[in-house]
Chains A and B, each alone.
Chain A
């Protein structure tokens, strides 16, 4: 669901690409672009403001100044801020109290409270082996009570029988009482949807909260929610102390701004996300994973990563220029420099690690690009004459023997290097065509055509 935002940020970075110099003007311009990207993703305005202020501040600092791709460095900053906003780790429900632990769900109409209550019940019942009681305090919406009862039946969890003529507070008290007497571990209290401006209903949720004293009060919010997320979440947070958030309907293509917004305004962590209509479609919310989904930007991130690690700016600029020309003018000197930079960056493995969707490749690559090997490649190139480096085609058999002898390697090692260089040139053309570094690395993968010599 977060693809859209990634694309936008990607575009921002693209636009900044090639603008070597940082001026106050292009800082402003890019901050503005980032702001727009976030707004289009429905990130709430106050959150966007906090972001952009932070970004602006950091953009003026050293990290961007020394960057060769300011746009991408900006994106990196945005990434940091996003992760910070969403929290670093999974926040489980805190149900370790004298049973029954009461969980209260609240939110706007149609957000997904009833469905989420059933999902949570199933989750706790099946995975944590809890005895769960579901109770609906929605005496307003037609068939709301039946909806919860039906779902409870489906998942094999007890639903407290509700008299629709009772006051919600009374229903909740009765249910908790029942749970106490019958040794339930958890009571999940579903409530009617309500608007933050509805005084009477907000008062009701306050009273409900007071009556059952929940350990968890979860705000249920639709991932498609726009700017209102921030106002509503704040209002609910004022009425009752929220301990967590359930983000629903994330299985669509919503850009997910609400995910960022709610935590920012309520301070309550997103604990679960709904990923479908069925009762098993609930997942613990992993902020880190979601953050990387937001930033699933392949080459952008990797390039930013490079910048971050402080590679030789001048050389990198030259390389980038050549890269943009599709590898034209890319010679063995560049090849060597790049190899050196890979070692400077702590190996290609750690670079991979940073790239979304590349986790598995990292392990496979480990050891294949160890420092010793790279150093030998560098030494081979160093043994060449400038003419040979500029025009590798002239390297014939006798030259190869000379180079090999000069480096203390076999002729076939020189051959391998030359082959590798050609591969790299080819890849650069592809990088120019499409897909960037991710594609490049895919090409390098064993099975995907890892250049010989690298993959062994």
Chain B
């Protein structure tokens, strides 16, 4: 924002906008203050700009529309007089959209093991999320076991085993090329025998368009279901936070094929905004469990609507 040209540099409005700008060093509301400067009214152009910015954060057309509708209603009621008001309103809208789906994972260990099956496309962060999640559960005082269900990718088993060693958590594995369902079956047997609280099963990354591989996941679920009608208790879809609108297609397909019960969004420690989560909430209403904010063992957080909205709007 350039000071020349704004004309009213000394005035209260200018200072207010500056403050607003300082808070918005980037992200959706970047430059919003500039846009509002010198305007008597917050008009269609502003709405269009907001729309552009939401879309630029991967929010997607549908969820963006809903947010804008909310904003324009407030605008109509004369609630939004300056940039800060607009930003606050936006944050509120986003929080309102997310709050119903921000549901923490409730681990029930009355009849152990509580089985968590992780699924997702290639490289989304499944294995890493498992490591982080295992650490969390351990910290809560639960015993954890991991099942190396990715029997396909090179060194996927070793990767999970490395996490297991790091955390002191047993990992049930067979060599690469083995049948994934049978590994997970073995793991379930072992977990039950040892009275383990939580079993987390890794699976190979697969694109949601690969029907044979989706079928393999169904088979895993069937095998687990035969062991324990309640299992898997959680089918956790891991989504790459850098993904755009394709994450929606992923969520839809995985939900249809394997009854996803929760979502973890990874890699939100970067410049990706993960705005597709709003679209997800809008369209699918699958519970959002966790966000991944790094590669370290502590970098998994419960999904929180307010802080997500805050991060999305102020960066």
Give me the interface of A with B, judged by CB distance under 8 Å.
36, 39-42, 45, 108-112, 140-144, 146-151, 154, 195-197, 222, 224-229, 231-232, 235, 249, 251-255, 257-258, 277
| Interface 9-mer from B34-42, B83-91, B137-145, B156-164 | B156-164
Q: Is the CB of A110 within 8 A of B125?
A: yes
B98 CB within 8 Å of chain A: no
Q: Within 8 Å CB of B121, what residues of A?
A: 224, 249, 252
Q: Within 8 Å CB of A197, what residues of B?
A: 269-271
Q: Within 8 Å CB of A254, what residues of B?
A: 246
Q: Is the CB of B267 within 8 A of A108?
A: yes
Q: Is the CB of B267 within 8 A of A143?
A: no
| Interface 9-mer from B53-61, B109-117, B181-189, B216-224 | B53-61
**Interface digits, B142-156 against A, CB 8 Å rule (1 contact, 0 not)?**
000000000011111
**Alpha-carbon gap, A36 to B54, bound state (A):** 12
Q: Is the CB of A255 within 8 A of B245?
A: yes
23 contacting pairs across A/B (C-beta < 8 A): A36-B61, A110-B124, A110-B125, A140-B295, A142-B159, A142-B162, A143-B158, A146-B154, A147-B155, A150-B155, A197-B269, A222-B240, A222-B243, A224-B250, A225-B243, A226-B58, A226-B243, A226-B246, A227-B244, A228-B273, A232-B272, A254-B246, A255-B246
**Alpha-carbon gap, A258 to B207, bound state (A):** 17
Q: Within 8 Å CB of B240, what residues of A?
A: 110, 222, 224
Q: Is the CB of B155 within 8 A of A227?
A: no
Query: Which of B58, B208, B272 makes the CB contact (< 8 A) with A252?
Result: B208
B9 CB within 8 Å of chain A: no
Q: Is the CB of B242 within 8 A of A108?
A: yes
Q: Is the CB of B242 within 8 A of A150?
A: no
Give me the interface of B with A, judged by CB distance under 8 Å.
52, 55-58, 60-61, 121-125, 131, 152-156, 158-159, 161-163, 166, 176, 205, 207-209, 240, 242-247, 249-250, 267, 269-273, 275-276, 295
If the complex has contacts A45-B55, A110-B240, A227-B57, are A143 and B162 also in contact, measured as CB distance less than 8 A?
yes
Give chain A nearest CB distance to B155 CB in angstroms. 4
**Alpha-carbon gap, A40 to B54, bound state (A):** 12
CB-nearest residue of chain B to A194: B270
Give chain B nearest CB distance to A155 CB in angstroms. 11
Q: Within 8 Å CB of B61, what residues of A?
A: 36, 39-40
Give chain A nearest CB distance to B154 CB in angstroms. 4
Query: Which of A41, A42, A195, A227 makes the CB contact (< 8 A) with B273?
Result: A227
Q: 18 extra interchain contacts, Cβ-Cβ under 8 A, other than A42-B244, A45-B56, A148-B154?
A: A42-B246, A108-B267, A110-B123, A110-B267, A143-B161, A147-B155, A195-B269, A195-B270, A197-B269, A224-B243, A224-B250, A227-B55, A229-B242, A231-B271, A249-B122, A249-B207, A251-B207, A252-B246
